[in-house]
Amino acid sequence: MPRAARAYIRIVDGFNSGLGRIMMWGVFGMAGILLWSSISKTFFQPSLWTLEVAQFAMVAYYVLGGPYSIQLGANVRMDLFYADWSLKKKAWFDAFTVFLLIFYLGVLLVGAVNSTAYSLGYFGKDGFTFFKDLIVAFVTGGPDAAKEVMGYIERSPTAWRPYLWPVKFIMLFGFILMLLQTISELIKDIARIKGEEI
């Protein structure tokens, strides 16, 4: 296996493993938020922010923990035949099916880019162009020039009305990490097919 492929696997797997281990503790954060929601509704004036923050925390927990789940092979599989196969046969099957996952993650990534661009006030069809223009404006003119590129910042329609771009950015970042991890798994499958050590 080329050194670049080994380095890619080491960097991507290391980052996603560390982030995944941190995100495992997120379940306690969500439990704390929901516990506070129950206490405040029972004994005090109900908090407006608790349900929405719990939803945002769940998105972060799920999307940022996804790459680690892919790395561990903990994602849902149909094990009817797969469990009895040899490692090489599993690698062939995984290398073939991973392209379907890459396609799916690519579609999610395009949607996340457009949705994040929309949350920052871009109402056109090409979110990639918006982000290119936003970065160019920020680099050449600073924060004030970047603000001119952005439009009306999207907010939630609830009573609390938080900005939505942070959670959409987390989703975008998570999909990028899942795509990188999927490519790492493809490289590992190819190495297993060739009989190389990973």
pTM: 0.86
Handedness of CA 164, 75, 94, 190 (dihedral sign): positive
Average pLDDT, the chain: 89
- What mean pLDDT do residues 168-195 have? 93
Look-up: residue for tokens 């990973």? Answer: 198
Residue 83 scores a pLDDT above 70: yes
pLDDT over 70 percentage in the chain: 98
* Cα(154)–Cα(114) distance, integer angstroms: 13
E-only strand ranges, the chain: none
DSSP assignment letter at 158: S
Residue 81 scores a pLDDT above 80: no
* Cα(142)–Cα(140) distance, integer angstroms: 6
Q: Are 45 and 69 in contact (CB under 8 A)?
A: no
At residue 47, the pLDDT reads 78
- Neighbouring C-alpha atoms within 13 Å toward the C-beta of 152: 5
At residue 96, the pLDDT reads 87
Tens digits of per-residue pLDDT, 175-186? 999 999 999 999
At residue 78, the pLDDT reads 67
When pLDDT is cut at 50, 70 and 90, the band that residue 147 belongs to is confident
For 57-82, the DSSP string reads HHHHHHHHHHHHHHHHT-S---HHHH
Greater model confidence, 23 or 51: 23
* Tokens found for residue 6: 């080994």
**Domain residue spans in the chain?**
3-194
